[in-house]
Amino acid sequence: MDSMHRRAFPLLSGHSYDTMMDGNPSPPTPLAQRLAKTRQRSPDLGPFFDEIVIALREAGVGSAAPKVGEMFPDFSLPTADGRYRRLGDLLDLGPVIVNFSRGRWCPYCVHEVSIWAEMLPELAKAGVRFVEITGETGGGARALGALLAASSHPEVAEVLCDVDHGVALSLGLAFFAGDPLLDFYGKAGVDMHELYGSPSGFLPVPATFALDSSGCVRFAYADADFRERAEPAEVLAALRAG
């Protein structure tokens, strides 16, 4: 792995989660600030990813995802330990925030999940549950779960494994990465086959949805640019306002 790839994927270069985080300030640092710092680590990669994002947006990747006011489709997915959870059962307990990310290997995703972990006490007060969905299975999913488990209210969070990106594909939230991107990740030591348990070459689109207890979407965010994410505080605010 060369220096460019090490800067892009510090977690694959022996760095711990602690070195990726800025600590747990009060109030939490806005997610956008953390993502901006991550992007600044490898500014030379900006043009490469910009071109890919432009192509994905022109192809409409992510545009078919559920919108505000629509009912979110039900699904059933396993945890990393093989226990299935159905969205409808979770909605019976109250509102749910559903978050799709690429996985533990993605530094942007690690920052995103860490902020959600800091938000879990607020979610618990509001009676809201958080569901993190990743195409990773086994160790990767457990690593994301460990971030959430470190919160004082881990009981309101779940990490579910979207095997073969089935749910993401059904929602228009997965795409074929293509040879240039797959080649880049391969040189960075990101083995999609190993991470996702499939040689398909599909990647999920980062997306966040806030659902009321009926399953109606009150907040929706999906962006083919994996370097951008919904701000967790804004997601919860939209759900409360709805």
Into how many domains does the chain fold?
1
- Residue 139 belongs to domain spanning: 3-241
Q: How confident is the model at residue 2 (pLDDT cuts 50, 70, 90)?
A: low
Per-residue pLDDT at 8: 58
Picking from 173, 90, 97, the residue whose alpha carbon sits closest to that of residue 135 is 173
Per-residue pLDDT at 198: 87
Higher pLDDT, 25 or 146: 146
Q: What is the CATH number of the domain that holds 138?
A: 3.40.30.10
DSSP code per residue over 97-153: EEEEE--TT-HHHHHHHHHHHHHHHHHHHHT-EEEEEES--THHHHHHHHHHHTSS-
How much of the chain exceeds pLDDT 70, in percent?
Answer: 88
Q: Residues 79-90: pLDDT tens digits? A: 988 999 999 999
Statement: residue 239 has pLDDT above 90 = yes
Count the Cβ atoms, other than its own, within 10 Å of residue 232: 24
- Residue 49 in contact with residue 181, Cβ under 8 Å? no
Q: Residues 36-90: pLDDT tens digits? A: 999 999 999 999 999 999 999 999 999 999 999 999 999 999 998 899 999 999 9
Per-residue pLDDT at 242: 74
SS3 assignment, position 23: coil
CA distance 156 to 35: 25
Q: Residues 163-210: pLDDT tens digits? A: 999 999 999 999 999 999 999 999 999 998 899 988 899 999 999 999
